[in-house]
């Protein structure tokens, strides 16, 4: 597959629930991006949407290079597999030492390993969702007490 000619863009690895939300926000803000997706059905949907896509494994140098990682400004590694996210972080950092890497993890141990591997920002989606729910629950309690 041919390399996508693009620069100062964001690479999104994985087009699941989180990846799709990231892409929605990039579109909303007018930021150029390339999606790396391994699932053929998801890749077909991405093409139908008219987005730049590299159909392949985001843990490989080949896919990252096709997505023009050397000229990208950031990468969102949001696959739903901690091991794949870790390998993708290692690959991205090796290919572009200056790129901003944001990723996700399922627990604090994995988060620590992702940071050691070169991630700049790691989110724990379950913890973030739990915190948002708790904030809303506490807000309702405060309003009831008044």
Residue 53 DSSP SS3:
strand
Condensed to tens digits (0 to 9), the pLDDT of residues 71-125 reads 999 999 999 999 999 999 999 999 999 999 999 999 889 999 999 999 999 998 7
What is the β-pairing status of strands 53-55 and 33-37? parallel
For the segment 116-139, what is each residue's pLDDT rounded down to a tens digit?
Answer: 999 999 998 776 666 777 877 888
**Spatial separation of the C-alpha atoms in residues 140 and 88, rounded to whole Å:** 41
Q: Where are the domains of the chain?
A: 10-145
Please give the pLDDT value at position 128: 66
Q: What is the pLDDT of residue 141?
A: 59
What does pTM read for this prediction?
A: 0.87
The per-residue pLDDT for 144 is 47
Question: What per-residue confidence (pLDDT) applies to 134?
Answer: 80
Strand partners, 54: 36
Identify the band that residue 27 occupies on the pLDDT scale cut at 50, 70 and 90: very high
How far is residue 138 from each of residues 71, 75, 124, 131, 143, measured CA to CA in Å?
45, 35, 21, 10, 9
Each residue of 39-62: pLDDT tens digit? 999 999 999 999 999 999 999 999
Residue 142 has pLDDT above 80, yes or no: no
Q: Looking at domain 10-145, does it have CATH number 3.40.50.300?
A: no
| Distance from C-alpha of 123 to C-alpha of 145, rounded to nearest angstrom | 33
* Residue of 55, 105, 51 whose CA lies nearest to 78: 105
Q: Give the pLDDT score at 26.
A: 98
């Amino acid at each position: 597959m041919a390399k996508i000619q693009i620069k100062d863009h964001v690479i999104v690895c994985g087009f699941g629930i989180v990846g799709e939300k990231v892409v929605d926000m990039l579109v909303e803000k007018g930021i150029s991006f390339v999606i790396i997706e391994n699932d053929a059905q998801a890749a077909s949907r991405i093409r139908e949407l008219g987005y730049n896509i590299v159909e392949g494994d985001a843990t490989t140098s080949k896919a990252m290079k096709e997505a023009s990682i050397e000229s990208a400004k950031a990468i969102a590694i949001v696959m739903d597999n901690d091991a794949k996210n870790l390998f993708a972080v290692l690959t991205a950092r090796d290919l572009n030492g200056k790129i901003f890497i944001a990723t996700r993890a399922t627990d604090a141990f994995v988060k620590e390993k992702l940071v050691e591997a070169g991630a700049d920002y790691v989110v724990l989606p379950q913890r973030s969702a739990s915190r948002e729910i708790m904030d809303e629950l506490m807000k309702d309690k405060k309003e009831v007490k008044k």
